[in-house]
Structures are given as structure tokens and as C-alpha cells.
Structure 1
């Protein structure tokens, strides 16, 4: 399910910002982008994410801006300066020079001045990050709950549409079956022209073939699966995998109906149109099922 959340935290060391973006994915695919100062918190952050998320391609971006911008203090490399002074005095003594060291010259030596960032408390930063992650996950849940409610309404409408299609197909089927039996008798008679066959036996064989082409069982199962789908999306807990199974079963029934409704004239065409409409509704539910955990 898609979602987005961003949370900021102010710490003595600086400003911490964490954002979570989730898009549809069958499994859970985590991608974390963090500054080096917070590397130690990555295992705990991954664990927190896995406890709350079960599906989705999830990107977590963490930014850390030190207090005062990128303020770093400039300090003298004292060991280096001390070594330089010792060397200067030793050379002056050795060569009988009466001169004093020039600090300005010394500070121009590469490495004599160092930029040092203030030490950050790893524990404090890690705690702030995990606290921000907990709040962001709560916001993400709220976002996904709102989206889930809208998806539930749409899927419910689709399943009601499928149930209505089933009712219409049942009405047509009751008229189509005798018509199909009659057509079968005519075709069998044409095929067996000149052969001696009892008319009663011919009618019986036509009825058997018509029964095999009946779609009543498929319609019952299609309606049942639609009802189960509606109940499933209203239930709590993980529903994605169960919904995938029900959609496969509904699609199977719709395909079987389409394979049986050919050759019945206009009534058959009407059943075919309704079967295709049912498949279209199933496909739309499948698209939304990618958003459901």
C-alpha cells in the first residue's frame, strides 16, 4: 500500500529528519539511506520497520544537520606545531642563527590547522532516530488506513457488481438451456442423418451434452467467491494472499463460463458479454489488491 510520512527531531547535536515512502510491492523491500553518524542505529531501525510493515517497496531517508550548520572548529595541530618549533630551534642553534619562529609561517604549513566537528553522542542520536521512526510509522499507518478505507469501498462495489452479473447470467441461463438442448438435437440429427437412432435416445444424449455445458455450478462458485472477497476485506489482519487466491478462483470460474457459452445464438452472446464484464471487474479488484497487505 502506498504512503508517505516525514518527521523531524531537534537534538543538542543538530536537526534530524526521517522520511518513509512506501509503494506497492508483493513482499517487503527495505531501502535505507542514512548518514554515517547514524550507522549504529540501522539494525534497530530495520527491526522497527519490519515489525510494522509486511509488504511494500519502502524507502527510508535520514538527514542530519549539525547545530549551527556544518559548524566545525578550526584548531592547531599541537603535536605538529611542537615538532616544528623543536626543529626550528635546533636548526637555529646548529647554524648560530639569532631569530625567532614566525607563527604565521608555521600556520601556512599544510596540516597545521585542522577542522574538527564537535563530538556527537551516538546514544542520543540513535534514540532520537528511533523515536522519529516510531512517529513516522504511526503517520504512515494513518495514511494507509485512509487509503485502505477507500480501497475497501471500491472492492465492495466491484464484488456487488459481480454478484449482479451472476444474477443476470442466471436469468439468461434458465432461458438458454432449453434453447441449447434444441440446437444440440438438431446438430446431432444432421450428423447422424441416415443412421437409425431412437428419437428418445437422441433427446437424452442432447440433454446430457447440454448438462455438461451448463454454467450453474460456475455461477454458484463465482457468487460464493465474491461474497467471501467482500467479507475478507472487511476483516482485520493480513488479507493480501487470501485475496490473491480468491481472485484466481473467480477468474477460473469466469473463464470456464466463457468456454461454455459459445454456440447458443444471441443468448450465448449475452452470457459471453456478461462473462467478460465479470472478468473486467475481477481485474480491477486485482489491481487494487496490490495495495492490500
Structure 2
């Protein structure tokens, strides 16, 4: 299936004590370019995420954003610094004895003092973290690829319709081309008749000139090649996959043949057809620029 180079995918899940969010978006680019934004302590995941995305994406400028946060209380351990607590109690009771005041010190009072509690985060296993992140990233990537496929299908349909119109225009140009030669022969004969007036006109000379003109304006080869290109376009779409570069090259060939026909034509009707032909090919080219 043909895929667009633009797309977006997002997945957010809570797994293994973490709140994980992965966002993927892409725009057109000649090659595969990957940029990743992760929390500083999880920078080691960037290469793994790049490998995951590149396994399914071959072209485009990809931006991946990873948000990863431990759910409060899931990976922490609360401990009491007994030495600090004992120091507070000893200091306060020393003051109580000196000042001869009532000892009403309670556990709640001690708990309010700074640095009594130690909040310790559990040691993380990088492999386990990656397994969790990869699940969320895979879901975001699936949504991302689905969007690119849907957009690619619409582009392929549009390009196919325009290629069909190109075929129709080629048929019309092929019909008009001999008429252009015949019209040239008639104009040449009328001009010579006017110049020579009553003198005998050399029919052989007229035929020779008409033949030379016909050779100059003949578009048979260009017509055959354009039809061949249309068949190649259909075959590329049928094959699917990352076909953007092939299509880009093929549309250049479409444009080359159209320009050659345009340089040969001198008839106004053919010129109008060539203008429309080149317009359709340009629209095809614009769409092809978006295909992976």
C-alpha cells in the first residue's frame, strides 16, 4: 500500500507504575530523518525508539516525543533518618531541662522537622523500562502508520485519476497531429499559389516540404512513451511500499515528454491540450512529493 510522508500518532498508557505518553508526527523529507525528545534520565531510549520507527518508516522527517513519569508512590521508599530525629529530640529536651518547661514533645512534632524523612526512589531496570515504553510506542506507531496509509490511498487515487486524464489528452493530441500536417500542406500550397500566381506549382516540392514539417512535429514517440509511463505508474501503485522516489523519477519523465510535444506543436488546438497536459502532470508531481 502507498503511504503518505505526513502523519500523526499518539498513545498514552499507565504501565508498571509509570504514566507513559508517546507522540509521533512527520512531514515530507527526501530521506529518513529522526528526532527524539525524551526526559533527560531516559536518553538511553532514543536509539531504541529510532530503530523501532525505522523498522516501519523509510522516508520522512519524524519527530517523536516521549513523556515518562513514575506514578506517585509506585517507585519510592520512605525511610526515617533516626540519627537526625534523635538529634532533634535530644536538643529539645536539653532546652526543656535548662528552661524548666513542660515536656510535651510528641512524635508528630518530630515528624515536622526538616530532613527527618528520606524519600528514596527504587532502582530502575533499563530493560524493564524499555519494555513498557516500547508497548506504548508501538501503539502510537500503529496509529501513525494507519494515518499515513489512509492519506497515501487518497493521494494514489488522485494521481491515478490525473494519469487517466493525461491518457485522454494524449489520445486527442495524437488525433490532431496529422491534421496539423495537412493544414500546413494546404497553407503552403495556397502561399505558393499566391506567389507564383498562374505558374505551375511543383507538387513534389510541396510534398517534400510537408514531409519535412511532419517529421519535425511528429509526436508518435512521445505519445508511445507517455502511454508506457501511465502503465508503469499503475504497476508501481500495484506493488505498493516505499515508492515515492520511483514515482518522482517517473513524473519527471512525464514532464519531459510533455515539454517535447509542446516544443513541436504549432497548432493552437494542440497547444491548448499541451497546456492542460502539463498542468495535470504538475499536479501529479505535487502529490508525488508527499508519498513515502
Q: TM-score, normalised by structure 1?
A: 0.78
Partner Cα distance (1:251, 1:47) in 2: 37
Shift of 1:15: 0.6
Shift of 1:27: 1.1
The two structures, once aligned, show a CA RMSD in angstroms of: 3.7
Question: Secondary structure of 2:55's partner?
Answer: helix
Shift of 1:19: 1.2
Note the alpha carbon deviations across 1:236-265, whole angstroms, 9 max, x for none. Answer: 233112111110111011111111112xxx
Shift of 1:78: 7.5
Higher relative contact order (CA 8 A, sep 6+): 2
Kept after mapping to 2: 8 A contact 1:13/1:66: yes
Q: Structure 1: which 5+ runs fail to align?
A: 263-267
1:235 aligns to what?
239
Kept after mapping to 2: 8 A contact 1:185/1:206: no
- CA distance 1:15–1:123, shift in 2 (3 Å): same
Partner Cα distance (2:278, 2:61) in 1: 28
Larger displacement relative to structure 2 (111-120 or 239-248): 111-120
Aligned pairs, number: 276
Note the alpha carbon deviations across 1:37-93, whole angstroms, 9 max, x for none. Answer: 3222222221111111101111111001221289977767788x59x99xx9xxx9x
Alignment of 1:106-145 (within 5 A): 116-145=120-149
Shift of 1:149: 1.7
Whether 2:279 is the aligned partner of 1:280: answer yes
Partner Cα distance (2:276, 2:70) in 1: 59
Q: Structure 2: which 5+ runs fail to align?
A: 99-104
1:174 aligns to what?
178
Out of 15, 18, 22, which is 1:14 matched to? 18
Partner Cα distance (1:231, 1:135) in 2: 32
Shift of 1:9: 2.8
Question: Secondary structure of 1:22's partner?
Answer: strand
- CA distance 1:188–1:75, shift in 2 (3 Å): farther
